[in-house]
A and B are shown apart, each in its own frame.
Chain A
Amino acid sequence: MIQFSTWDIVSNLLLAARWTVVLSLVSFIGGGIVGLLVLFARIGKFAGLRRAAKVYIEVFQGTPLLMQLFLAFFGLGLFGINVPAWLAAGFALTLWTAAFLAEIWRGCVEAIAKGQWEASSSLGMGYMQQMRWVVLPQALKIAVPPTVGFSVQVVKGTALTSIIGFVELSKAGTMVTNATFQPFTVYGFVALIYFALCWPLSKSSQILERKLNVAHRNH
């Protein structure tokens, strides 16, 4: 029987962790862009768009991410489209992230006092001008800590993509376990790598939150 050194295990896991990082980044950035569009639809002037955005958010928040991955992976297959695992994973995670970020950001925009809207209206600003110059700059500052905090959820969410066969950190863990028969060691390392990715994120979220709260300053 072949012997595997600890380094064999760790190096293979680290190679696969690259895909966890890439998938996280793609989902987070893609989700951020789509989320911004959903946000504007959700708080905008058009009732139809508002409703559509609300339904979108509710569907993605109200179903398990795993189901969304299955639907993206198998659903498109029904129409004869062959979806590779990485595409289904990136697609589903992007939409999932967008739904949550849009909702987080909506809270931040709505946290801006009504007086800010009224004052800028009375100075003659239009909706887009108010958004661009008055509301979003303030909302952005409130949004930073929860947004960074949510990125942790995205990183952990990528683990589910192993089930549709995308080889990222978790899937690699399973594969390495099958070769080495050392599940505890392997999954221990897997957990440590996830922790190493997530801990700095949640820590920075906490620091940002404290910084913005204690100072009580908006600039």
Chain B
Amino acid sequence: MSLIEITEVRKSFGSNEVLKGINIDVNSGEVIAIIGKSGSGKSTLLRCINGLETINAGTIAVAGAQLLPDDLHLKALRLKVGMIFQGFNLFPHLTAGKNVMLSQMVVKKVKKDAAEAMARRQLDRVGLLHKFDAYPDELSGGQQQRVAIARALAMEPIALLCDEITSALDPELVQEVLAVVKELASEGMTLLMVTHEMRFARDVCSRVVFMHQGRVHEIGPPGEVFASPRTPELQQFLGMQAA
């Protein structure tokens, strides 16, 4: 059985259908890159998996648990799937350490000592233990994003959703974040990432999903998808990227 099962998922905003029947099964430990033009529905798909958008039709199941729009099911799902955002979304009134501790204590009712130990462990994992007491506005974009990753990891999810996590970063800061993601991938974390980093997708991902006009247009191992795109849309998309 797959870890994440996305079946015939449809999503509309008003009369605009952005997801037109998506089917993807993700196995445990897979690293999946979702690529495509803006407006192809890739971010929306990711947000649906986490319940930030409600789907109009189809089903999403994570480790056997169905995504249902009531609070109880949503919370259960969100404990399994962490999400990292383009804009970092750290809590600006809390230090890096407190950012990582908060949800453990509030949602999982972990004791403060244990939450702090976990926060230190996760910040160390992303190379930012020395920034434990720094506030987000004292950190660079790359550091903020790494704290956000640590914050998601502290909830011990079985999969991580990454929504263009390097798009808001200065070019020289992209690599430090990707290095952390690569490390996670090598440790066997299941990752679903919307990305524009084609080289990263090629090197690290087990499968690449090309989305076009709300549908999965092509899917396959990066070697195939990048080397011999079957559809003119993907050829054109990859051509644009190379140019």
Residues of A with Cβ closer than 8 Å to B? 113, 115-116, 118-126, 129, 133-134, 137-138, 141, 216-219
Closest B residue to A130 by CB, please name it: B106
Asked whether any CB of chain A lies closer than 8 Å to the CB of B155, the reply is yes
Q: List 27 A-B contacts (CB under 8 A).
A: A115-B88, A116-B89, A116-B91, A118-B83, A119-B90, A119-B148, A120-B91, A120-B103, A121-B51, A123-B78, A123-B151, A123-B152, A123-B155, A124-B78, A124-B103, A124-B107, A125-B103, A129-B106, A129-B107, A133-B102, A134-B91, A137-B93, A216-B137, A217-B137, A218-B93, A218-B135, A219-B135
Contact B94 A125 (CB under 8 A): no
- Taken together as a complex, chains A and B put the C-alpha atoms of A119 and B99 apart, in Å, by 11
Contact A219 B107 (CB under 8 A): no
Contact A121 B78 (CB under 8 A): yes
User: Is chain A's interface secondary structure helix, strand, loop, or mixed overall?
Assistant: helix
Given A115-B87, A125-B103, are A217 and B151 also a contact pair (CB < 8 Å)? Answer: no
Contact B107 A217 (CB under 8 A): no
Contact B71 A126 (CB under 8 A): yes
B143 vs chain A, min Cβ distance (A): 16
- Taken together as a complex, chains A and B put the C-alpha atoms of A155 and B207 apart, in Å, by 67
Closest B residue to A141 by CB, please name it: B93
- Residue of B78, B106, B108, B135 near A122 (CB, 8 A) is B78
Contact A118 B78 (CB under 8 A): no
Q: Mark B77-111, 1 if CB is under 8 A from A, else 0.
A: 01100110101111111100000001100111000
Contact A119 B93 (CB under 8 A): no
- Taken together as a complex, chains A and B put the C-alpha atoms of A193 and B90 apart, in Å, by 47
Given A129-B106, A218-B92, are A124 and B75 also a contact pair (CB < 8 Å)? Answer: yes
- Taken together as a complex, chains A and B put the C-alpha atoms of A96 and B75 apart, in Å, by 39
**How many of chain B's residues touch chain A, expressed as a range?**
20 to 34
B28 vs chain A, min Cβ distance (A): 20
Given A124-B78, A219-B135, are A115 and B85 also a contact pair (CB < 8 Å)? Answer: yes
Tell me which residues across on chain A come within 8 A of B106, comparing CB atoms: 125, 129, 133
B194 vs chain A, min Cβ distance (A): 15
- Residue of A122, A125, A141 near B82 (CB, 8 A) is A122
Given A122-B52, A123-B155, A124-B155, are A115 and B93 also a contact pair (CB < 8 Å)? Answer: no
Given A126-B71, A219-B94, are A119 and B89 also a contact pair (CB < 8 Å)? Answer: yes
Asked whether any CB of chain A lies closer than 8 Å to the CB of B50, the reply is yes
Tell me which residues across on chain B come within 8 A of A219, comparing CB atoms: 92-94, 135
Tell me which residues across on chain B come within 8 A of A138, comparing CB atoms: 91-93
